[in-house]
Amino acid sequence: MAAAALSKTLGRRLRGSGHRLLPSRPCTSHAVQPPPPPAAAPPSPGAGTEASAWSKLFLFAPGAITFGLGTWQLFRRQEKKEMLDYRTRRLEMEPVPWSETVSTAALRDPAELEFRKVVCEGDFDEEKSVFIGPRSRSISGVTENGYYVITPLKPRPTEPGSLQLPILVNRGWVPRGWREKIIRDHQDFGETLDVKEADEKTDEKGTWWKFWSKKPEVSPEIEKPVKPPVRVIGVIRGSENPSIFVPPNEPMNGQWFYVDIPMIARACGLPENTVYIEDVNEDISATNPYPLPKDVNGLIHHSVMPDDHLKYTFTWYTLSAAVTYMASKRIKPKKMRL
């Protein structure tokens, strides 16, 4: 009550003296408010035009790239035609007899005699044959899997026309059953030799057996007829370049998927720089057609022929025209409808 009376008394005195009471204001926090962020500067007038020009150029980039790829295919086509003509001319030359001069030149630079036919004589070392594959071959429209058989050709010193150093010869294609038969025959031959040696050691234990089992001496003149040396007409080649999908060779397991001359030479006990030729002899026996030598046209043939490059060129140019047309339609201003 006393507070209310005191408030009324003060109010009358202030009105009497002419003073006005100010309205009370709410209490605000004493914390300093952060200043408002500055307004962003307006973009320059030329920035939008420059960005638009670069975006237009970017739309034409795919068309320029595909046009360049099509032109590159034309150059590749011309290079391939020159390469095939070079191979054809060298394969049409007369075969070169294998001599010490040819052997030295082949060892020094195999590319100098590549795709030249050579004639050499010697004896095949069948036990060291290597089978590359599987390789398919189409016979009368039927595809059959098989292998290429590579065999070392050893020199025969007694023959004047024989080669001086052993070489590797790709004798041609054989079916899968032919390979299995050769491997089985070699295994049986080795087992027969082991049994024969064991029997001879057992028989030699008894002295009485030596008298009764004494074999008559055979004159060396009538032992066995000497076989003539093998005559091979082949083409000097290099190692194959396998694709990323071809597995690596496994010499320890006898698995060969592509021709690697140094690796095959090591497996056969030959120097790594051994010359490698592919047999192209066309004199095939009807009774024993395997191994089937490579066809000369097959050596000329390439995985990508000039006609294939022409098809690739048409494809790239067509794609270039399509993407360029779409880019021009994209940047063309649209007409406003009234």
For residue 290, pLDDT over 60 is answered with: yes
| More confident of the two residues 299 and 242 | 242
For residue 117, pLDDT over 80 is answered with: yes
Mean pLDDT, residues 266-295 taken together? 83
- Cβ neighbour number for residue 132 with a 10 Å cutoff: 20
Contacts of 189 (CB under 8 A, 6+ apart): none
| More confident of the two residues 165 and 257 | 257
For residue 261, pLDDT over 90 is answered with: yes
pLDDT confidence of residue 265: 94
| More confident of the two residues 286 and 252 | 252
- β-strand pairing of 230-236 with 276-279: antiparallel
| More confident of the two residues 186 and 331 | 331
Lowest mean pLDDT among 98-107, 140-149, 226-235, 263-272: 98-107
**pTM (predicted TM-score):** 0.65
For residue 180, pLDDT over 90 is answered with: no
The 10s digit of each residue's pLDDT in 51-83 is 566 777 788 888 899 999 999 999 999 999 999
For residue 174, pLDDT over 70 is answered with: yes
What mean pLDDT, rounded, does the chain reach?
Answer: 76
Mean pLDDT, residues 299-328 taken together? 90
**Are the beta carbons of 284 and 293 closer than 8 angstroms?**
yes
Name the band, by pLDDT with cuts 50, 70 and 90, for residue 209: very low
SS3 for the chain, per residue?
CHHHHHHHHHHHHHHHHCCCCCCCCCCCCCCCCCCCCCCCCCCCCCHHHHHHHHHHHHHCHHHHHHHHHHHHHHHHHHHHHHHHHHHHHHHCCCCEECCHHHHHHHHHCHHHCECCEEEEEEEECHHHCEEEEEEEEEECCEEEEEEEEEEEEECCCCCCCECCCCEEEEEEEEEHHHHHHHHHHHHHHHHHHHHHHHHHHHHCCCHHHHHHCCCCCCCHHHCCCCCCCEEEEEEECCCCCCCCCCCCCEHHHCEECCCCHHHHHHHCCCCCCCCEEEECCCCCCCCCCCCECCCHHHHHCCCCCHHHHHHHHHHHHHHHHHHHHHHHHHHCCCCCCC
| More confident of the two residues 120 and 20 | 120
pLDDT confidence of residue 77: 93
Name the band, by pLDDT with cuts 50, 70 and 90, for residue 328: confident
pLDDT confidence of residue 258: 94
pLDDT confidence of residue 81: 92
Neighbouring-strand partners of residue 130:
150
pLDDT confidence of residue 189: 47
Measured in whole angstroms, the distance separating CA 183 from the mean position of its chain's CA atoms is 29
How far apart are the C-alpha atoms of 149 and 152, rounded to whole Å?
Answer: 10
Contacts of 233 (CB under 8 A, 6+ apart): 95, 117, 118, 119, 279, 280, 281
How far apart are the C-alpha atoms of 211 and 185, rounded to whole Å?
Answer: 35
For residue 19, pLDDT over 70 is answered with: no
Mean pLDDT, residues 87-91 taken together? 88
Mean pLDDT, residues 145-161 taken together? 85
